[in-house]
Structure 1
Amino acid sequence: MSDPKLTDEAGRLLALHRYCALDSVHEPNFDTITGIVKDLLGVPICAVSLIDEEQQRFKSIQGLDSKGTPREVAFRHQTIKSREPMIIEDATMDARFVKNPLVTGEPNIRAYAGAPLTTPDGYNIGALCAIHRRRHDFTPGDIERLQRFAKVVVDQMELKTLAHRDFLTGALTRRAFSDAVTSGLARLGSEKRSATIAVLDVDHFKKVNDDHGHATGDLVLKAISQVVRGQLRSTDLFGRLGGEEFGIFFYATTRNEAVEGAERIRRAIEAMEAPDCPKVTVSIGLAAMEHDEEFDHALAHADTALYAAKREGRNRCVAAEIPPFSAAA
């Protein structure tokens, strides 16, 4: 049975960008890992690399002076296509790589072992690899160690993302959400596809805090966040903009498709029954986004639509130039 996550390139790239790992090339905290693997496996080169749209970027590399290579020549480009490690004992005998410039020239790769870096949601975003300049047989123990350290790399990346997550709700922080939306738009520009941004606001949230206390208000926000994430696709983004206001980025959708998605979210929250939480509703404003549009500009349009939803009675979704869905519909 085929694994859809291995062919979902849009989802894979969004998973990669959620880590905000491409902001810098080198990650010193991975040097310890590559150093240990290099010594344990007895290879001259070890690297942690991430694969974006066009490049392989080394986050740590031992034994070679390089910041990255074009994606099409990277061995890791093949590694991320499988759940299992890719093992090559002699690249000059492998039809996939015999003419690869990394084999025919520097660094003269002969043997390669690469374990995919698999995110908790199942996307391969890069690889931890061990490289030899001569033919080399990797033992089962070598491969097992490589896989274990690949998991450590992903665990370290997960820890780093905590700085980009809202502590209470688990949603992206406003800054991380903005950065991820900008990256998503850049990819959509090359694909000539559209996207929509939405602003979700909890109706009468001040009354919830006044009547039930701020601890209950926090429970409401956590419950809403859980419901929203359960309704979104892996390619969509969810962030906390501040207070009881959240942002949603519907990736590669028309406005009508996004409004349908927002309406599903609205209905799910309206039907939500969470322990110790009062019943609440939300209003959602949506705006289409162009590939070169600035985040704050698009957010302002979504805010305008949100205010319209509130003026019209709350508990509804409104998007510019699209008839609003409402609770009465």
Structure 2
Amino acid sequence: MLDTKLNDEAARLAALGRYEILDTPPEPAFDRITQLVRSILGVPMSVVSLIDGDRQWFKSRTGIDATETPRDIAFCNHTIRDRMPLVVPDACSDQRFSSNPLVTGDPNIRSYAGVPLATPDGYNVGTLCAIDTVPREFDPGQIAILENLGALVVEQLELRRIAERDHLSGALTRRAFVAEMDKHIALFRRYARPASLLLFDIDHFKRVNDTHGHPAGDVVIREVAACCDRTKRPNDILGRLGGEEFGVLLPESNAAQAGAAAQRFCDAIAALEIAHIPPLRVTASFGIAEIGPDRISSDAWIAAADVALYAAKHGGRNRVAIAKTDAAQPD
């Protein structure tokens, strides 16, 4: 029977995209698995490889310096085309790989064993593989170990996805939001792509809790998040950073464009009538920082926006302030 999911590239890429993991920093949960592969199978190299449209990108790697390679030379690009493991005892004698630059040059792959990483809905988004620089056989027991560890990789992908959402607001958690910031920092470093960060606090939120109770405060959090979700562009990213503090990441936006967007958010929140007896109204204060050479870590970028947020709050609240390039004097 034809396995249609192995040939549906658009759906496979969509499945990979749902994990929102490409270009994120290394994570111990994945690194432990590649280290186990290296140790148990006795190989010098192991990677968790995710196959994007035109590249393979390594979520975890041991023994390999590169972070990605072109897809068309990736052994793992062959592995994802099947449900079964791919085993190559000697790449130099395999016509598919003998002239491959990963075989003839660094990292000098000679033998390979890879298992596909299949999502719960059946799409192979990548592989877990063991790589050696000498010809070798991988016995059935070793392949079974690799398959079991591959299942652990998929479990980690699923757990990571579930943990990315704040249960109350539906926005990204702080950890997931910072991971998105790191992706855009990487894009800025590599391609000088613009992006801006909005930080905002719900004004006088403690007063809401003290006057109406914490259940009312929870309703305010949910409604403000829903309002922002309706107001943002499809590619904008909303996160709850803690308590009543939120962040919005605006890709491809400079400070002026972010300022206009922040004012839309600010006005939408101020116009919101939140169902309660009596109905509740709240406002929010916004600080904006465009990415730049002095903001190429998530901490520095957040700190710059936080300076502007402080200025907005101390300027009367329910307003927008933009951090200058040096993040010292907000507009």
Task: Give your verdict on TM over 0.5.
Answer: yes
CA deviations 1:39-68 (Å, max 9, x no partner) are 9xxx98994425699974645x7xxxx255
- Could you tell me how far 1:246 is from its partner in structure 2? 1.7
Is the contact made by 2:111 and 2:131 (CA closer than 8 Å) also made in structure 1? Answer: yes
Q: Tell me which residue corresponds to 2:328.
A: none
Q: Tell me which residue corresponds to 1:190.
A: 190
Q: Tell me which residue corresponds to 1:72.
A: 69
Distance 1:188 1:180, change over 3 A: same
1:254 aligns with 2:260: no
For residues 159 and 96 of structure 1, the distance between their equivalents in structure 2, rounded to whole angstroms, comes to 35
- Could you tell me how far 1:304 is from its partner in structure 2? 4.6
SS, match of residue 72 in structure 1: strand
Distance 1:26 1:271, change over 3 A: closer
- Could you tell me how far 1:291 is from its partner in structure 2? 3.4
- Number of aligned residues: 295
Q: Tell me which residue corresponds to 1:98.
A: 99
Instruction: Tell me the TM-score normalised to structure 1 length.
Output: 0.60
Distance 1:296 1:282, change over 3 A: closer
Alignment of 1:258-273 (within 5 A): 258-263=258-263, 265-266=265-266, 269=269, 270-271=271-272
CA deviations 1:172-209 (Å, max 9, x no partner) are 33x77557535632430221222211111213423321
For residues 261 and 120 of structure 2, the distance between their equivalents in structure 1, rounded to whole angstroms, comes to 25
For residues 161 and 77 of structure 1, the distance between their equivalents in structure 2, rounded to whole angstroms, comes to 26
AA aligned opposite 1:214? H
- Could you tell me how far 1:94 is from its partner in structure 2? 5.2
1:27 aligns with 2:28: no
Q: 160-169 or 288-297: which moved more?
A: 160-169
Q: Tell me which residue corresponds to 1:199.
A: 199
AA aligned opposite 1:284? F
Equivalent of 1:295, from 301, 306, 317?
Answer: 301
Q: 104-113 or 193-202: which moved more?
A: 104-113
- Could you tell me how far 1:70 is from its partner in structure 2? 5.4
Q: Tell me which residue corresponds to 1:214.
A: 214
For residues 206 and 65 of structure 2, the distance between their equivalents in structure 1, rounded to whole angstroms, comes to 51
AA aligned opposite 1:15? I
Instruction: Tell me the TM-score normalised to structure 2 length.
Output: 0.60
SS, match of residue 207 in structure 1: helix
SS, match of residue 224 in structure 1: helix
- Could you tell me how far 1:217 is from its partner in structure 2? 0.7
- Could you tell me how far 1:213 is from its partner in structure 2? 0.3
Gaps of 5+ in 1: 322-329
For residues 17 and 119 of structure 1, the distance between their equivalents in structure 2, rounded to whole angstroms, comes to 22
Q: Tell me which residue corresponds to 2:48.
A: 49
Is the contact made by 1:73 and 1:102 (CA closer than 8 Å) also made in structure 2? Answer: no
Q: Identity of paired residues, percent?
A: 23
- Could you tell me how far 1:212 is from its partner in structure 2? 1.9
1:307 aligns with 2:313: yes
Gaps of 5+ in 2: 1-7, 325-331
- Could you tell me how far 1:16 is from its partner in structure 2? 3.7
Q: Tell me which residue corresponds to 1:3.
A: 10
Is the contact made by 1:205 and 1:244 (CA closer than 8 Å) also made in structure 2? Answer: yes
AA aligned opposite 2:32? P
